[in-house]
Structure formats: C-alpha cells, structure tokens
Amino acid sequence: MSEVTATIERNGGILPIVTPGVSRGKSSLTQGATFTTQVIQGQAVYVFCKSLIHLAEGTAVTDADAPIDARGGCYLNANRGKQISVRLLAGEDPATVWIHEVR
C-alpha cells in the first residue's frame, strides 16, 4: 500500500498522512458567525465545509484572512498549541465545517 501525502512539513519534507486524528471541532456556520476550534495538538489538520470560508490562526478571523475552498476537503499545516478560526465568505450559504487533526 502506498503512503498518502498531502502537505509539506516545516522543513520542506513530505508529511505522510497516516490516519485521521482527533476532531478539533464541528460547527454550523452562518453569515457573520465565527467558529474557533479546540487547541491543535498535531502538525496538520483536515478541513471540510460545503461553502467557501475564511480561515485564520488564533481566535479572530476577518474577511481579509485567507479564503479557503474546503468543499472537497483540504489538508493544512498547523501550529501545535494554536487554535483555528473560520467564518463564511460573504454571500455563501450556511454550512457545517469539520476540522480534524491528522497524523
């Protein structure tokens, strides 16, 4: 069986995604509402949402933060000990967002 790889570690090497980890949060998003995850303990997260979202590290996220297309799911590097906040892109329909650590 081949390894699945989806992201790069901080030193530039491939970070193998071996198995799903702990859920760091799930929330229904509506316009103007922000969801903040539990503290991330790993190095990567998997984010899924049927709408486009803004995503930022920490407890605050604005329309100026990175827009993410997580409609097909996406893997992102994460900083251990930090939280991730998300909100819907302007004009997007309400949707549920899932964030899981991966290891």
Rounded to the nearest angstrom, the gap between the alpha carbon of residue 10 and the centroid of all alpha carbons in its chain is 17
pLDDT in tens, 15-25: 666 677 889 99
Question: By the 8 A CB rule, do 93 and 22 touch?
Answer: no
pLDDT in tens, 38-54: 999 988 899 999 999 99
Cα–Cα distance, 67 to 89 (Å, whole number): 7
Strand partners, 97: 27, 49
Q: Does the model's pTM come out above 0.85?
A: no
pLDDT in tens, 71-92: 989 889 899 999 999 999 999 9
